[in-house]
Amino acid sequence: NAGVTQTPKFQVLKTGQSMTLQCAQDMNHEYMSWYRQDPGMGLRLIHYSVGAGITDQGEVPNGYNVSRSTTEDFPLRLLSAAPSQTSVYFCASRFTGGYGYTFGSGTRLTVV
Amino acid sequence: DAKTTQPTSMDCAEGRAANLPCNHSTISGNEYVYWYRQIHSQGPQYIIHGLKNNETNEMASLIITEDRKSSTLILPHATLRDTAVYYCIVRGPTGTASKLTFGTGTRLQVTL
Q: DSSP string spanning A6-65?
A: EE-SEEEE-TT--EEEEEEESS--SEEEEEEE-TTS-EEEEEEEEETTEEEE-SS-TTEE
Q: Which of A103, A105, A107, A109 to mutate to test the interface with B (most CBs of B within 10 A)?
A: A103
Whether the pLDDT of residue A47 is over 70: the answer is yes
User: Across all residues in chain A, what is the average pLDDT?
Assistant: 94
Q: Quick check: B40 pLDDT over 80?
A: yes
Read off the pLDDT of each residue in B99-107 and give the average, rounded to a whole number.
Answer: 87
Q: Average pLDDT of A101-107?
A: 95
Q: What are the tens digits of pLDDT across the range A53-91?
A: 999 999 999 999 999 999 999 999 999 999 999 999 999
With an 8 Å Cβ cutoff, are B43 and A58 in contact? no
Q: Which of B98, B99, B101, B102 is the mutation pick for testing A, counting most A CBs within 10 A?
A: B98
Mean pLDDT, residues B20-28 taken together: 94
Report the relative pairing of strands A4-7 and A19-25 from DSSP bridges: antiparallel
* Amino acid B94: pLDDT: 61
> In this predicted structure, what is the pLDDT of residue B104?
87
- Specify the pLDDT at position A96: 76
The confidence band for B96, taking pLDDT boundaries of 50, 70 and 90, is low
Mean pLDDT of B1-25: 93
Band of pLDDT at residue B95, cut at 50, 70 and 90 = low
Nearest to B95 by CA among B28, B48, B32, B44: B32
For residues A112 and B40, give the distance between their C-alpha atoms in angstroms, rounded to a whole number. Answer: 24
